[in-house]
Amino acid sequence: MTCSLRRRVAVCALGAAMLIAASVLPAAAATDPTKWGKTFCSSLEKWAKTFDEGATDLQSSVGSDTTPAQAKAVIVAFLGDATDTTSAFGDAVRAAGAPKVKNGAEIQSVIVEGIAGVEALLGSITTQAGQLPTTDATTFRTAAQPILTQLDGASAPFEDAMDEVGSIKGSKQLQKAMKKTKACKFLTG
């Protein structure tokens, strides 16, 4: 057998072995629900904190003591922070894997879709905020009001997802595990 023929046989054998191994190996293991809950809750808490702190800044930014340009800068900065934190929240939930409960993959998928919905809304709102007029305070406030109203409802896709998760079999088991998780105490009391 020549060297080139041996190499081809070896490559084919290696490829066949890899295919066999891939078909025999188990699927990725699900994440312990307590560990999953810790990741979810700590990320959720950071996300909520960004919105809470930003809401305070936004309220003062549209007050009479700030110029339209200053207020626009606060709104755009908040939206940048909110988008980054929302993206990090989604990344954390994806990286956590599916919780090891009945329908865990479905639960994770619904939550990730809800977070993606928030990201999409924030993207749209950010585009609008970038176009706010800053030449006149009255015009600015009039143009900013719909943006602030949209921000009030920006978490709706996530809230809807969590409502949907509540109806999926396995969610009660996950809630029970999360109640034992210190990171989830802000949710479970």
What is the amino acid identity at position 178? M
Residue ranges covered by each domain of the chain? 30-188
Q: Are 140 and 177 in contact (CB under 8 A)?
A: no
pLDDT at residue 6, rounded to an integer: 41
Distance of CA 99 to CAs 43, 156, 170, Å?
15, 23, 9
- Confirm whether pTM is higher than 0.85: no
Binning pLDDT at 50, 70 and 90, where does residue 131 land?
A: very high
Between 121 and 15, the more confident residue is 121
CATH number of 30-188: 1.20.1420
Q: Would you say residue 61 has pLDDT above 60? A: yes
